[in-house]
Amino acid sequence: MSPFKSKILFIVFIISFLSFSAVTAENINLENLKSDDTYVYSYFNTFLGDYDTTINKMIQNNITYINDSKSSFEKTAYLNSEINVYKEYGMDTPAISVIPYFYDFSENLEDLSGLCQEFNKNLELNTTSSKYFAKLIGADIVEKIHLMKSNLRDIKDISELKKDNETLNFDTSNVEKSLDYLELKFSKNIENIGNVTPSSNLTIFISPKNPLIYENTTIYGTGLNGNGKIIITGPENITENIVLKNNHYSTQYLFKKSGIYTLKLTQYGRESEDIDVNISKIPTKIISESYFEFLVLKENNISGKVIDFYGNSINSGDIIFENENLNLENGTFNISLYADYEKIENYTLKFSESEKYLSSEKNIEINFSKPLLNIQIYSEIGKINKNEPLTITGTFEKGQDLNLKLWVGNNSIEYFNSNGTFKKEILFEKPGNYEVFVTFDGNDYYDLSKSNVLMINVTDDDKDINLFTAFISQAAEINWKILILILLIIAFGIKFSDLYNIFKNKTQEKTVKKYPDNILPKSSEKSAVIEKTVLLEYQELYNKIMKKYNINVEFTPNELLKYLKKINPKIYYDLKIITKIHEKAVYGKEKLDNNTLKQFHDLTKRVLENL
């Protein structure tokens, strides 16, 4: 194992754990990562471009490669933690098949970055010992590059991402070429150093410089050939016996207690200069959603997990929530919450510090709201003549009697009570297209709610009859043959308006028959379900809303819903139903019935029209 393993890995982790906002500011859209292959492919493809840029900076000795590699590892470490939690809770995402290989490459790129920095520092010192160490580091760099090429082959072989019948393969050729150039550069540097032997001066170093407890640590340095001792004093006092060859030594050590230690090398009555090392406890991170939307008057649960620096579950410890201590079970926690009225609350989850682990915190927001009353209305026909009764039937969750309103367009035409089912008749006095729906004003248990909307086409057959009569009188004056034709039309039951349209369509472009929304043919409905899934429809709606309101921050569906409640209440209630159906279909993997699917299509269409 290399004695010069990256010294800045811990710093990266601290940034990731303690500066959580810095990670989320990268616009990582976890909602899309959960479901869409093309998004996953595009998102991870940008990493390959970043990798290539970083490696080229190493070739050019542009020191900004340190921050670049740090950023890449930070993002993949965050994603890896989140995706692992999704997997444990049964949530599926195509990113599961991708993240392990990109995480490995990012971690090795981070190590390579530290090795390159260490190599250059030793060359700059230009002493016999520093050249010797540079040569050792150079060999470790070449070995690390070979490992990263293996990582790239794994990335190239990923075959799980699909677009229709096409496999989305990652092109790693540019990164491979850059690694080849970097390997060539360091191979020549090693060759130029030649054969060197370190001095016999007693020195002692440690890598990483400030490790964590239980982290693999390398203590190394120079001295005389033969036996020596490493003296460690601090929270623990230890003496390590070592043997030096070629005036050089290297040994592995694990610190088991945090605190400040002093290290020195002793040999044949001589001592090296002391070095002080600060050994830290292991950082932790709380993994859970940041925003929750719960129903009032119902038991709700928040679940999450606590992991350490290495991504391992912390099996024991306490989570503090509202002055209550909750024990971790296999690294997970569950919190039960109940509210009897609508409110938005902010809470802080805190993991308590222990002898081994540092504390961590996570802020969450919970929106307690009333559920919508799921009102569904139906009509057997979508076209009717004026002054003929139209029958509307409806259903909602059975329970207490509720007062509902029946609407035609913007006019409320009837108040009525129902306990779960109802049937109403409507007379239309004028022809035209009408929207019919039912609303509920809300109570202690349900929010203001609106049913699906029926589009009713009202015709005027009396007008057709008048036109028909006028046509007969004109035809009688023109030609008796036309009169016979009219009688034939009557015999076969063809309306004059239909005949007129037949003649009209011979000289005009044919039009496509449009079905009312509430009587979609079975074949069309089946095609719509196949061709336009819930996921794709919601994605289209999501993108148009983001563009319409110039939103630059990536929102989850619930965060977007909360945002729109403030700026456009008009579409909020429809979007709330859309969001819940989307969650059931995409994350809950629930099978939607035809009525729910149609409700989703209708509401999505209406919201799009209102944007």
Segment 394-419, tens digit of pLDDT? 999 877 789 999 999 889 999 999 99
pLDDT of residue 228: 97
**CATH number of the domain that residue 387 is part of:** 2.60.40.10
Where does a domain end: 280, 313, 347? Answer: 280
pLDDT of residue 8: 31
pLDDT of residue 34: 59
Residue-wise pLDDT for 425-456, tens only, equals 999 999 999 999 999 998 888 888 999 999 99
Does residue 70 sit in the same domain as residue 176?
yes
Residue-wise pLDDT for 150-175, tens only, equals 999 999 999 999 888 899 999 999 99
Does residue 125 sit in the same domain as residue 39?
yes
In a domain, 512, yes or no: no
Where does a domain end: 243, 263, 280? Answer: 280
Mean pLDDT value across the chain: 81
Does residue 117 sit in the same domain as residue 153?
yes
Q: Which of 90-104, 140-154, 579-593 has the highest mean pLDDT?
A: 140-154
Q: Using CA atoms, how far apart are residues 555 and 563, in angstroms rounded to an integer?
A: 9
Residue-wise pLDDT for 244-253, tens only, equals 998 999 999 9
User: By CB neighbour count within 10 A (0-12 exposed, 13-18 middle, 19+ buried), where does 245 fall?
Assistant: exposed
Looking at 128-142, 412-426, 575-589, which range is the least confident one? 575-589
Does residue 22 sit in the same domain as residue 148?
yes
**Residue 127 confidence class, pLDDT cut points 50, 70, 90:** confident
Residue-wise pLDDT for 251-279, tens only, equals 999 999 999 999 999 999 999 999 999 99
**Residue 473 confidence class, pLDDT cut points 50, 70, 90:** low
- pTM higher than 0.85 for the full model? no
Does residue 493 sit in the same domain as residue 567?
no
In a domain, 48, yes or no: yes
Does residue 300 sit in the same domain as residue 274?
no
In a domain, 250, yes or no: yes
In a domain, 513, yes or no: no
Q: Helices 65-88 and 99-125 sit at what angle, rounded to 10 degrees?
A: 150
Does residue 85 sit in the same domain as residue 177?
yes
Query: Mean pLDDT, to the nearest integer, of 212-235?
Result: 93
> Which of 343, 324, 346 lies closest to 333 in space, CA to CA?
324
> Which of 76, 67, 54 lies closest to 182 in space, CA to CA?
54
Looking at 182-191, 303-312, 465-474, which range is the least confident one? 465-474
Number of domains comprising the chain? 6
In a domain, 235, yes or no: yes
Does residue 123 sit in the same domain as residue 235?
no
Residue 30 has pLDDT above 70, yes or no: no
Q: How many helices (DSSP H) and strands (DSSP E) are in the chain?
A: 16, 27
Residue-wise pLDDT for 91-117, tens only, equals 677 888 899 999 999 999 999 998 999
Residue 412, domain extent: 376-459
Main-chain dihedrals φ then ψ at residue 131, nearest 5 degrees: -65, -40
Q: Using CA atoms, how far apart are residues 146 and 589, in angstroms rounded to an integer?
A: 42
Instruction: Say how many C-beta atoms besides its own lie within 10 A of residue 581's C-beta.
Output: 21
Does residue 434 sit in the same domain as residue 478?
no
E strands along 268-397, which residues?
270-271, 275-279, 284-287, 291-295, 300-308, 318-321, 324-327, 332-337, 343-351, 360-369, 376-378, 383-385, 389-395
Q: Using CA atoms, how far apart are residues 351 and 280, in angstroms rounded to an integer?
A: 17
Does residue 435 sit in the same domain as residue 330?
no
In a domain, 290, yes or no: yes
Does residue 119 sit in the same domain as residue 161?
yes
Residue 184 has pLDDT above 90, yes or no: yes
Does residue 150 sit in the same domain as residue 204?
no
pLDDT of residue 231: 98
Main-chain dihedrals φ then ψ at residue 256, nearest 5 degrees: -105, -10
Confirm if 433 and 457 have CB atoms less than 8 A apart: yes
pLDDT of residue 507: 37
Confirm if 528 and 592 have CB atoms less than 8 A apart: no
Where does a domain end: 310, 340, 369? Answer: 369
Percentage of the residues of the chain whose pLDDT score is greater than 90: 45
Which pairing describes strands 300-308 and 162-163: parallel, antiparallel, or unpaired?
A: unpaired
In a domain, 515, yes or no: no
